[in-house]
Every structure is written in structure tokens, then in C-alpha cells.
Structure 1
Amino acid sequence: MSWRRGGSADGVARRWVLLLCVGSFCLGLLFTNRMWTLPEASEVAIPNERRGKESELITGDCSIRQVQGKHDYSNMLRTSDTHLDAQEASRKLFLIGIELASCRTLDKTIANLETELSATRSLQDSFLNGSPVSEEYKASESTGRRKYLMVIGINTAFSSRKRRDSIRNTWMPQGEMRKKLEEEKGIIIRFVIGHSAISGGIVDRAIEAEDKKHGDFMRLDHVEGYLELSGKTKTYFATAVALWDANFYVKVDDDVHVNIATLGNILSKHILKPRVYIGCMKSGPVLSEKDVRYYEPEHWKFGEVGNKYFRHATGQLYAISKDLATYISINKHVLHKYINEDVSLGSWLIGLDVEHIDDRRLCCGTPPDCEWKAQAGNTCAASFDWKQRYLQLCAEHLGGS
């Protein structure tokens, strides 16, 4: 009764203190969006063996660390009850709320970055390990990808039907023989072609009909054009890496005869090397005159007039190992394209730790060159036949495929 009569002022002060504490508590909940359960004093002072190695969030640090003689928030609150006034307790709760909110924001940012990193790695894994993107190879997704020796992509054009038929009749097996070559020897062979500027046009339908008959095309998401060969090469490697896991990826023109057995023997000798670039290496002059064939519009990048290109493989046939094909696939959007496709490939690899292998068996001439080399025991792996009239003859002298 005496408290009610004589302590009215003191009662008002106590109510204000109570209101401040409740307000501070609510403010802390607003920033943390969670309830904190304060451990008993005995649990903090003398942890048992089961809890001796537990972790706790330390103020000022968003990481989890072992508690080693450090006071927790309950100690801070008990101190505020005995030594600090209500304003000091409110200020500390406010700071704790801000700090915890900052930690939550940082944790969320880290989680988002980890998600993005995981997505990026998944995208890269799609190139490195890949899942088949065509109906023909979807079955291998569940059983694991088969390892092939090489993928041979024959660069062709809409107007090259006669060249394709000539290849089908000589060194490229057809039907069951091609499937047997894939299954037993691990060798994939496909004609490589994109689409016309007007997708679905007459030439596209002609290729679709031809592919339906023979089933030996690799269709690219690429607009065909003579000045777009560098882009086509990048798209070929990216598509081939996604479709097949091979040790080597070969590009060959459709006016070249290939001895598959000899080519396989050549590549097999380098199978343990991670980054190899195999072909007939050359270093021709950089042509700055506009009216000549193989004119280089960016000739100024190669120095003074009369300079030569860096060493690179001739474009009729070359092979690169899986690591290099994967590198091109991943970085295709930032790799510069020169007007000449073989120069472009050489520029993509010149700055890498790559072993350039010059093998002249990959660039034999037409008869009688291939005949002389075969008689000398140096069987050619490829011969160029620009006019196509010696293709069958050279196939006979090379021993077929």
C-alpha cells in the first residue's frame, strides 16, 4: 500500500524502463526475424562433454567458431540487468540486431554466388562430359558416354552432292559397315553442314532428304557461307564435343581422300598427349592485296607488308585433341575469326601450351604422289584431289579403308 501511495514517480520510471525493454526486444526481432533462445548460465559456464565441441555464432564474425572462454549474448543481457541501465541494454540489442541482419544478408549473397558457380560448372560439365543432344545418342546418357578414338567431320556445302557421293563410294563406309566402324574401332564419320540463310528452304530440304537416306550428316546451328568457314569450324568442334567423347576431333574437306586406318595409326601414337595439334604445318605470306585469293583484311595485325603467318596446319585436314576442342567449345564466343579458317584455328591455339605436330602424310598430292609414297612404305593418310577425277584411283593405291 505504501508503494502505491508514496512511489508513484518511481512507478512511472519503472513503466518507462519496461516499455523501453519491450521496444528494444521488438526492434531486435524486426532485424533478426527470429526468436533467440538464451542458454542457461550453467550451460555456458560449464559445458558437458557432449556440448563441449559445439559451435556458436560470435558477434562481429559471420563464421562458426568454437566457444573458448568467450561470453555469449545471455551474459551480455545479464550484465545489462546488473551494471548497465536500460538505454545501454537497448543500444546493444539494436547493434546485435543490425549485425545479425548483416550476417544473414552476407550468407544469402554467398548462397546466391554458390548457386551461380554451380550453374556455371554444370554448363562447363555439359561440354566436358556432356549429355547427348540428338535422339540417336540419348540412350547413352543413363549408361555413361562411350569413349571414341576420333570424330571425323567432313566439311561440305549444299552444292557438293557429287563430292559426298564420291566419298560414300570410296573411303566412307555406309550402313552397317559404318556402325561397325563406330562400335568396334571407335571412329565416327559425318558430313558437316549448317543451314541456309532462309531456314527450311529448298537446299535445306534437299539435305534433309539426303540425310534421311544415308544418315551420315551432322547438322550445325550455323548459316552456311564461304566467308563463314571460321565460324563453322568453331560450331563444329562445339557440337562434336557435345555429341561424342573422343580422343581426337578431325576436320577434313570434301575434296580430300582419307585412309582411315593410316589416320588412326598416326593419331594413336599421340593419344597420351593432352594438347596436340596435328596436320601439315605451313607459314604462308600474309596477302594484303584485295584482288588476290586468300586476301587478309586484317593484314595489319601481322606486322609489316611481306610478313608471314604464324605456323598453322593447312585447312584441308587437321586434328586436335579433346582438351583443345573443349577449349574452343567453351570459349567460342570470344575467339576471333580471321577470314581464313586455317589461320583462325592456328590463332586460337598459338597462345596455349600446345604441341604442334607436322606430319606430311596428311597432305599427299594426287597420283602419282600417293603411289610413290605407298611403294616406299610411307602410306598417306590423306591426299588432296581438287578435280575429283583421281579419287577412285588414289583409293585403290592407298589400300582403301
Structure 2
Amino acid sequence: MNRRHIGTFLKVLPIVGFFVILLYLSQCNMSDNCRPCRETRDKPNGVQNHESHKEPSATSDYNKIKTFLVVMIMTGPHNTDRRTAIRQTWLSSYPEDILPRFVIGVAGLGDGERDVLQAEQMQYDDLLLLEELIDSYKSLTRKLLLMYSWLDQNVDFTFVLKADDDTFARLDILSEELRSMQPDRLCWGFFDGRAKAKKTTKWAEPDWKLCDHYLPYALGGGYVLSSDLVHYVARNMEYLKIYNNEDVSLGAWLASVDVNRIHDTRFDTEYRSRGCNNAYIVTHKQAPELMYEKHKQLVTHDRLCEQEVQVRKSYNYDWNKPPSQCCVREMGIP
């Protein structure tokens, strides 16, 4: 090759190299075989993927709220006095790694009602407003599903306490004890296994065909679930049978799952309170005035009750017996 040819070659070499690089980059963007380029493209700021990765959720893990315990309180659009009582009593102070949310269905509400809720949200920033749900007794199970679906998609958490707006809870004790519990497959509350399936009244379950009794379930005045069980329910919600009672529904959904069910008589969560006991950590059926009274006792005397009283028998759940024989009520059990 003479000098003239060598000079020409050296002049065109950078141009040829440039087009070769462009061709490589175009193939890199189009092909799955270019691992370094694909990995850099899939992650923000050039962060590399790992060999195995989780299925992406609706909300990126980077954007999820991170907390230890979530408190989800099911409430109605007009139950402002109950929410106020809770905020001023058992939610008046709590550890930083607890996230409270009052859950309300707002579909079908008028502009004035929505304005009131928006003002409340602006003031407290603790409402979860479900736009697709008309809030009613008949929609409670769907409300539970939507609530857990939102929780699974938007919060990185370990446990959730589900409660009602007439529930009083000791978050200090719950949080402390949960930190020593295994953070998987946990359902902690007060269980019922003897409840007969109802065919009449407000609580009727006309579609219940599994048994003449409901399957064992934690009473919904207050119970704790670990995040993996919430994830299981949220990811399978389109396949789950919806019954009128959300507690009965959850019991049926988890019946075949390997769950660590802990029956604890300190959860006073039946349809009627068993009384007042200083050992209670969750108490259901509490009007606002009772919440203020309990909170005052805790602040001034470090106990729930001015005087302990038991108005109904309680029971320890015997998991070694069939559900029809599980729950023998006795006095003296909290």
C-alpha cells in the first residue's frame, strides 16, 4: 500500500469507526442479548439489575412509604366525632414507625360532604379515601380488599393492625410485643370458631355454603396481620369469594393457608365488650366518651380502668379440638 492509499485510509478510519459504534448501540437498544446496555436502561441512574428480581408492583419499591406498623381504621364518611376521639386519645402519640390511616369510601358523596373530608385531610393527612367505593355495611368486605390492595402497593411495612372507629388500642404495648414476633404468617387477635352461619337478620350470609358454622376467624374489632398475608390477599383478590361480613371473609380466605393464629384474650373485640380490664390491648365497642375516659386513666394513673369489671365470660381457644368445641366460656378469663 503506497503512501497516498495509507493517507486516504487514515482519513476515513474515524468515520468508519463512528458508524460502527452507532450500529452497535442501535443493536444494543433493540436486542435482549446486550446485557450491560439493557441493565443500565432498566434501572434509574445506571444502577445494575441483579440476576433475580421481584415482579414490579404498581408502585415502585423506591417510592413506597416505609414503616413498621400500619394502623388501618375502617370508618364512615360522617363519623368525624369518632375519628376526632381516636386522634385525641390512643393516636395522640405513637412511635415514628407507626403509620395511621382512616379508611373511607367516598363514591356517591355530594360535593359538600367531599369538601368536609378534604378539609379534614388537609388538617390531619391521615385519611385513605377510596374513590371507587360506596361506603356501606354491604361493601365492608370489598372495602377491606381495596384497603389491603392499597397497603400492599404503597407501603413497605411489617405488620398491620386492622381496627374499627369504635376501637381503643394500646399501640405502645402492641408495637413493643410485635418487635419480638416472627414477621411472617401472623394473625394475632381474638378468634371465633363456633359461630353459626346466619341466614336471616342484617348479618345474614346467603351465599355461605362451606359449613353450618363459619370457619375460624379473628374478630374484626381489632387484629394484626403480617405483611405477607396482606400480600397474599391483595394479589389474589380477584379470585376470593366476597361475603357480607369482612371478618368471616378473611377467615375463609386464610383457612387453607399456613397461618400462625394466636388467640389472645387481651383483644376484647367481640360484638359487645366483655368489660374493662387493665390487661386489654385492644378494646372494641367504645363510644368517644369511653375513649376519653380510658385515655385519662392511662395518662393520670397508667392503667385503663378506674375499676376492673367483667360483664361477659371469655375463653381460651383450644386449637386441639374441632371448632364446634374450641371455645368454652368461663368467668375469670379476661
1:205 counterpart letter in structure 2: D
Q: Distance in 2 between matches of 1:274 and 1:361?
A: 21
Structure 2 residue 132 is matched with structure 1 residue 222: yes
Q: Partner of 1:380 in structure 2? A: 280
Q: Partner of 1:327 in structure 2? A: 232
> Cα offset for 1:360?
1.5
Matches within 5 A, 1:146-157: 147-157=66-76
Matches within 5 A, 1:118-137: 124-126=55-57, 130-131=59-60
* Corresponding residue SS for 2:105: strand
Q: Partner of 1:36 in structure 2? A: none
| Aligned residues of 1:196 and 1:203 also touching (Cα < 8 A) | no
Structure 2 residue 203 is matched with structure 1 residue 258: no
2:205 counterpart letter in structure 1: E
Matches within 5 A, 1:53-132: 124-126=55-57, 130-131=59-60
| Aligned residues of 2:191 and 2:219 also touching (Cα < 8 A) | yes
Q: Partner of 2:116 in structure 1? A: 206
> Cα offset for 1:314?
0.5
1:369 counterpart letter in structure 2: G
Among 358, 369, 379, the alignment partner of 2:275 is 369
| Aligned residues of 1:241 and 1:325 also touching (Cα < 8 A) | yes
If the length of structure 2 is used for normalisation, what is the TM-score? Answer: 0.67
Q: Which has the larger radius of gyration?
A: 1
Q: Distance in 1 between matches of 2:89 and 2:237?
A: 34
* Corresponding residue SS for 1:126: coil
> Cα offset for 1:147?
4.5
Tell me which stretches of 4 or more aligned residues in structure 1 moved more than 6 Å: 364-368
Among 164, 176, 189, the alignment partner of 2:100 is 189
| Comparing 341-350 and 387-396, the one that deviates more | 387-396
Q: Distance in 1 between matches of 2:130 and 2:107?
A: 11
Deviations 1:80-99 (A, max 9, x none): xxxxxxxxxxxxxxxxxxxx
Structure 2 residue 293 is matched with structure 1 residue 393: yes
Structure 2 residue 207 is matched with structure 1 residue 280: no
Among 310, 313, 320, the alignment partner of 2:215 is 310
Matches within 5 A, 1:346-357: 346-357=251-262
> Cα offset for 1:293?
3.3
Q: Distance in 2 between matches of 1:222 and 1:400?
A: 41
1:155 counterpart letter in structure 2: M
Residues 276 and 368 of structure 1, relative CA distance in 2, 3 Å threshold: closer
Q: Distance in 2 between matches of 1:362 and 1:266?
A: 14
Q: Distance in 2 between matches of 1:131 and 1:210?
A: 28
Deviations 1:209-230 (A, max 9, x none): 1111111112224312220110
Q: Distance in 1 between matches of 2:267 and 2:165?
A: 14
Among 73, 77, 83, the alignment partner of 1:158 is 77
1:296 counterpart letter in structure 2: E
Residues 380 and 247 of structure 1, relative CA distance in 2, 3 Å threshold: same
> Cα offset for 1:247?
0.8
Among 237, 256, 263, the alignment partner of 1:358 is 263
> Cα offset for 1:241?
2.0
* Corresponding residue SS for 2:239: coil
Q: Distance in 1 between matches of 2:243 and 2:105?
A: 19
| Aligned residues of 2:101 and 2:127 also touching (Cα < 8 A) | yes
Q: Distance in 2 between matches of 1:367 and 1:396?
A: 19
Residues 157 and 247 of structure 1, relative CA distance in 2, 3 Å threshold: same
| Aligned residues of 1:248 and 1:320 also touching (Cα < 8 A) | yes
| Aligned residues of 1:248 and 1:322 also touching (Cα < 8 A) | yes
Structure 2 residue 202 is matched with structure 1 residue 293: yes
Q: Distance in 1 between matches of 2:126 and 2:235?
A: 26
1:125 counterpart letter in structure 2: P
If the length of structure 1 is used for normalisation, what is the TM-score? Answer: 0.56
RMSD: 2.9
Q: Distance in 2 between matches of 1:385 and 1:285?
A: 22
Which runs of no fewer than 5 residues in structure 1 stay unpaired?
Answer: 1-120, 133-139
Identity %: 27
Q: Partner of 1:11 in structure 2? A: none
Deviations 1:281-326 (A, max 9, x none): 012111112xx23111123x033xxx32111000111111111111
2:280 counterpart letter in structure 1: C
Q: Distance in 2 between matches of 1:367 and 1:327?
A: 31
> Cα offset for 1:352?
0.9
> Cα offset for 1:273?
4.3
| Aligned residues of 2:221 and 2:269 also touching (Cα < 8 A) | no
